[in-house]
């Protein structure tokens, strides 16, 4: 049986990730509190939109911090207002 989590984005019980998506405390937090569905939405769609819309350079520590912040907002791991890009709802933060 697949592991489930109460997803911080959807506020319902959903299938969790098989492994943390990356090392460190943020990766563990995602593993503990984010569903596979929400992670796929971030990784396959929203992450690219944020990178392109704001022309973030992943070699720049400041730009990387912006991406991580937006990821946490999108996934509902932090309170606040996520950026609006593409066809995303204005101010959507997953709640």
pLDDT tens string 42-59: 999 999 999 999 999 999
Q: Distance (Å, rounded) from C-alpha 49 to C-alpha 5? A: 26
pLDDT the model gives residue 80: 74
Which residues, given as ranges, of the chain have pLDDT below 50? 88-95
Give exposure, 8-20, as e/b (b: 16+ Cβ within 10 Å). Answer: bbbeeebebbeee
pLDDT the model gives residue 94: 41
pLDDT the model gives residue 86: 63
Q: Options 3.30.2020.30, 3.90.550.10, 1.10.3880.10, 1.25.40.10; which CATH number does 4-74 get?
A: 1.10.3880.10
Per domain, the residue ranges of the chain are 4-74
């Amino acid at each position: 049986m697949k592991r489930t989590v109460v997803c911080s984005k959807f506020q319902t019980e959903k299938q969790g990730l098989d492994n943390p998506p990356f090392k460190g405390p943020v990766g563990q937090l995602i593993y503990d509190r984010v569903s596979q569905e929400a992670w796929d939405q971030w990784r396959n769609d929203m992450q690219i939109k944020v990178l392109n819309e704001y022309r973030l350079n992943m070699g720049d520590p400041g730009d990387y911090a912006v991406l991580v912040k937006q990821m946490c907002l999108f996934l509902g791991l932090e309170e606040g207002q996520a950026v609006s890009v593409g066809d995303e709802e204005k101010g959507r933060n997953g709640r």
